[in-house]
Amino acid sequence: MSSSQKSNVLPGFGLSLGFTIFYLSLVVLIPLSAVFIKTATLSWAEFWETVTTPRVIQSYKLSFGASALSALINGLFGFIVSWVLVRYRFPGKKIIDAIVDLPFALPTAVAGIALTAVYSKNGWIGSLIEPLGIKVAFTRLGVLLALTFIGLPFVVRTIQPVLEDLEIEFEEAAASLGASRWQTIRKIIFPAVFPALLTGVAMSFARALGEYGSVVFISGNMPMKTEITPLLIITKLEQYDTAGATAIAVVMLVSSFSLLLLINLLQAWRARR
């Protein structure tokens, strides 16, 4: 038996690939194929009419816009949180590290109720900021807040391992050669972290795009104002309009997949440079 065979604990490539394709087909490809098959029962005119009504278009703008903005916010503050957790020691660090994962474990409906209670007119924070003219609950700002809340862990947990592997000696060497802090960030830290940051932002965006539970409570679900696309899909399913629901889902699926593919291509391009 060769040394390469001895080092392989799992079955060979052919069998492992077969299991991989089977599992992905069962869990991902077949359900997604069912969405396209159901949508195909509509004619092109019916499909176009369903996915381009003013109410649906407005929901696209809110869902994609708020998801993109929340991902960018998480990209900035997620990097800062990761940096603090990796580079500093302070009392309560493990508690903060655990809190970062809270959106992973917390049911999204509970998160939505909690955010609504805190930021509503009579809530702890809402009662303080509403006299200043800042209204969060039942507005687009509330939608953005909920999407930012559920997307933060994706950025932090993607960047954190990269920062842990980044030797601090590189920064010290740059400082000893006269580099400023901004030059060290731009020339040393950012290039090393950027692929992970881009991945984390993409994951945060994709997670926010399909979010329903935490948004449906704090948004108020006002048509043409605070209504997100996933809510429209649920509404059509409740009306037994399955084809209409899958038609809107197909638009969301194709759009998000295209964006994720573009980001992966960008990462591959940067890796070849």
Q: Are residues 16 and 59 in the same domain?
A: no
Report which DSSP code applies to 120.
S
Q: Report the number of distinct structural domains present in the chain.
A: 2
Q: Are residues 162 and 261 in the same domain?
A: yes
Q: Are residues 47 and 35 in the same domain?
A: no
Distance CA 157, CA 78 (A): 9
Q: Are residues 30 and 123 in the same domain?
A: no
Q: Are residues 28 and 71 in the same domain?
A: no
Q: What is the mean pLDDT of residues 184-196?
A: 87
Assess whether pLDDT exceeds 60 at residue 5: no
204-236 pLDDT, tens per residue?
A: 998 999 899 899 999 988 989 999 999 999 999
Distance CA 140, CA 77 (A): 20
Q: Are residues 27 and 144 in the same domain?
A: no
Residue 45: the pLDDT is 94
**Could you tell me if residue 110 is inside a domain?**
yes
Distance CA 145, CA 219 (A): 10
Q: Are residues 70 and 170 in the same domain?
A: yes
Can you tell me whether residue 242 is helix, strand or coil? helix
Q: Are residues 22 and 117 in the same domain?
A: no
Closest CA to 146 of 200, 77, 66, 75: 66
Residue 191 class from Cβ within 10 Å (0-12 exposed, 13-18 middle, 19+ buried)? exposed
State the chain's mean pLDDT as an integer. Answer: 89
Q: Which domain holds residue 32?
A: 11-40
Q: What is the mean pLDDT of residues 24-49?
A: 92
**Could you tell me if residue 162 is inside a domain?**
yes
Residue 208: the pLDDT is 93
Q: Are residues 177 and 210 in the same domain?
A: yes
How many other C-beta atoms can be found within 10 angstroms of the C-beta atom of residue 50? 20
User: Which residue type sits at 136?
Assistant: V
- Overall pTM surpassing 0.85 (yes/no): yes
CATH number (domain holding residue 118): 1.10.3720.10
104-141 pLDDT, tens per residue?
A: 888 888 999 999 999 998 999 999 999 899 999 999 99
How many other C-beta atoms can be found within 10 angstroms of the C-beta atom of residue 104? 10
Using the structure block, give the residue that is written with the tokens 């490539």. Answer: 13
For every residue of 149-185, DSSP letters joined together read HHHHHHHHHHHHHHHHHS-HHHHHHHHHTT--HHHHI
76-97 pLDDT, tens per residue?
A: 999 999 999 998 999 999 999 9
**Could you tell me if residue 130 is inside a domain?**
yes
**Could you tell me if residue 3 is inside a domain?**
no
**Could you tell me if residue 6 is inside a domain?**
no
